[in-house]
């Protein structure tokens, strides 16, 4: 298959027309990329013999061997898909074949063959990754808008920091194309380039992309556990700044797990960064300014947009209004198709008894993201439940959490704009620098 050097494997596969990446564990439903952020499991494949590789987080290379992992006779046409149709109200595997221990053991062996995610790699097991112990004054987790801005502020104040970014390329939301054209010429890509320029070669920043922080242990000195492909780092830190971002969530309606349904940030990356449109016509669902901008840019690029379905009764109209139907006050109720979404049904309007039905080659679905609060919770920081988005880290204006050694900024503390995330990163870094120097932590 042709691919562009360095693009994510999932983008290359979608561009080449691959629709089914795998099958679900139990009912063998087709699976495909949803988030492109490494947060769902839709894109798992076997790559060069290694099972369960997130293809959206793996850069493509010439000669890669990429295989789908499940399904019989193949993941593309999987006979066990019939389980879903035959089971009616679903399979309660906890109570199946429990009449005797022997039948249960037999059934368990059969079920294990049916489910699971592929075979273990052939050959000798890989030795465990060696552990290295480091000491650092400041650790920043997350290289998105808030994290990079915090690193920049720390650098400006002469504080050395170590920044762990899970993805291979730092940038987070600053990489999103729908924010790239700021009206003042300060769109997200320009800001990212500016931050890179300011931080390039900085002795105050140790940037480690491709590093996932998996745990934080509170104590006299915080212990941060970070995992890379070939080693595990246990870092003792004086201060920790969490800018872990958030997770795309799935809007719930029948068929919302079909391949061809994408989170808005995933589609944003595909379109603006990689130039990939996996199917047409596109239906968009949501009403944020970025979604409206994306819809307008798709139309301007000649992509067929069937509709923008908005739950809001009076959504702000996109530029180029009239280029595609805007359907206010309605939400999707059912997506249907075989291995890929083909149609989208929306709830009927009170005045129209018939449901709306759209041909749909891709659905871009927006839903409030969930803050990534887990590491703050590990560190004993206070997290609060917000009915709009789930748990979020509680911080004051200076990014201080309830643990004096831990600061947090950006979307892990709740929903905000890109501008607000950048400002939150700056404030948290300021507060942290002040706390290290024994100051009040208040800005001058």
Q: How far is the CB of 47 from ligand FES (least distance, A)?
A: 12
Q: What is the x/- site pattern for ligand FES, positions 54-93, by CB under 6 A? A: x-x-------------------------------------
Q: How far is the CB of 435 from ligand FES (least distance, A)?
A: 36
Nearer to ligand FES (CB atom), residue 268 or residue 287: 268
Angle 54-59-61 from CA coordinates, rounded to 5°? 120
CB nearer to ligand FES: pick between 266 and 298: 266
Closest residue to ligand FES using C-beta atoms: 56
The footprint of ligand FES on residues 94-113 (CB under 6 A) is: none
Q: Is 385 left (phi over 0), alpha (psi -120 to 50) or beta?
A: beta
Q: What's the min distance (Å) between Cβ of 436 and ligand FES?
A: 36
Closer Cβ to ligand FES, 36 or 409, answer by number: 36
If the CB atoms of residues 169 and 323 are measured against ligand FES, the closer one turns out to be 169
Supply the minimum distance, in Å, between the C-beta of residue 56 and ligand FES.
3
User: Shortest Cβ distance from residue 219 to ligand FES (Å)?
Assistant: 32
Number of Cβ atoms within 10 Å of the Cβ of 436: 16
How many residues contact ligand FES, by CB under 6 A? 12
CB of 16 to ligand FES, least distance (A): 16
Nearer to ligand FES, 52 or 437 (CB): 52
Q: How far apart are CA 256 and CA 262, in angstroms?
A: 9
> What are the tokens at 337?
């198709």
Cβ proximity to ligand FES: between 56 and 243 the closer is 56
Q: Which is nearer to ligand FES, 10 or 258 (CB)?
A: 10
Q: C-beta of 205: minimal distance to ligand FES in Å?
A: 28
Here's the x/- map for ligand FES, 21-60, by CB under 6 A: it reads as: ------------xxxx-xxx-xx----------x-x----
- Closest CB 227 distance from ligand FES, rounded Å: 16
Looking at the Cβ atoms of 22 and 71, the one nearer to ligand FES is: 22
Angle (deg, nearest 10), helices 145-156 and 188-199? 30
User: For ligand FES, which is the closer residue by CB, 56 or 235?
Assistant: 56
Q: How far is the CB of 262 from ligand FES (least distance, A)?
A: 9
Cβ atoms of 106 and 51 within 8 Å: the answer is no
Residues that bind ligand FES (CB under 6 A): 10, 33-36, 38-40, 42-43, 54, 56
């Amino acid at each position: 298959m042709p691919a562009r050097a360095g693009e994510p494997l999932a983008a290359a596969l979608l561009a080449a027309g691959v629709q089914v990446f795998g099958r679900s564990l139990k009912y063998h439903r087709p699976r495909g990329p949803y988030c492109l952020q490494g947060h769902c499991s839709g894109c798992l494949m076997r790559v060069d013999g290694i099972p369960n590789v997130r293809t959206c987080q793996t850069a493509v290379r010439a000669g890669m061997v990429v295989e789908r992992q499940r399904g019989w006779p193949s993941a593309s046409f999987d006979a066990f898909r019939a389980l879903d149709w035959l089971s009616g109200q679903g399979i309660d595997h906890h109570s199946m074949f429990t009449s005797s221990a022997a039948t249960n053991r037999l059934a368990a062996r059969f079920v294990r063959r049916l489910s699971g995610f592929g075979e273990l790699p052939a050959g000798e097991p890989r030795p465990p990754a060696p552990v290295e112990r480091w000491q650092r004054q400041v650790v920043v987790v997350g290289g998105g808008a808030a994290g990079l801005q915090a690193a920049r502020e720390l650098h400006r104040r002469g504080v050395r920091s170590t920044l762990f970014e899970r993805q291979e390329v730092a940038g987070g939301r600053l990489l999103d194309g729908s924010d790239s054209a700021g009206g003042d010429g300060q769109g997200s890509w320009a800001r990212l380039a500016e931050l890179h320029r300011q931080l390039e070669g900085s002795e105050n920043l140790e940037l480690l992309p491709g590093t996932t922080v998996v745990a934080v242990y509170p104590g006299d000195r915080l212990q941060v556990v970070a995992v890379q492909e070939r080693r595990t780092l246990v870092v003792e830190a004086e201060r920790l700044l969490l800018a872990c971002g958030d997770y795309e969530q799935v809007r719930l309606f029948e068929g919302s797990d079909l391949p061809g349904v994408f989170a808005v940030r995933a589609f944003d990356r595909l379109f603006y960064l990689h130039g990939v449109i996996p199917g047409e016509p596109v239906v968009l669902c949501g009403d944020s300014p970025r979604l409206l901008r994306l819809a307008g840019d798709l139309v301007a690029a000649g992509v067929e947009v069937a509709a923008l379905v908005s739950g809001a009764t009076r959504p702000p109209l996109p530029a180029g209004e009239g280029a595609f139907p805007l359907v206010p006050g309605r939400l999707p109720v059912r997506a249907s198709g075989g291995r890929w979404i083909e149609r989208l049904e929306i709830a009927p309007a009170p005045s129209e008894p018939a449901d709306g039905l759209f041909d749909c080659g891709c659905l871009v679905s927006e839903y409030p993201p969930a803050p990534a609060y887990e590491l703050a919770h590990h560190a004993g920081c206070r997290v609060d439940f917000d009915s709009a988005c789930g748990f979020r880290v509680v911080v004051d204006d200076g990014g201080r959490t309830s643990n004096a050694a831990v600061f947090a900024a950006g979307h892990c503390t709740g929903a905000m704009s890109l501008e607000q995330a950048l400002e939150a990163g700056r404030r948290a870094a300021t507060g942290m620098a002040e706390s290290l120097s024994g100051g009040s932590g208040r800005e001058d």
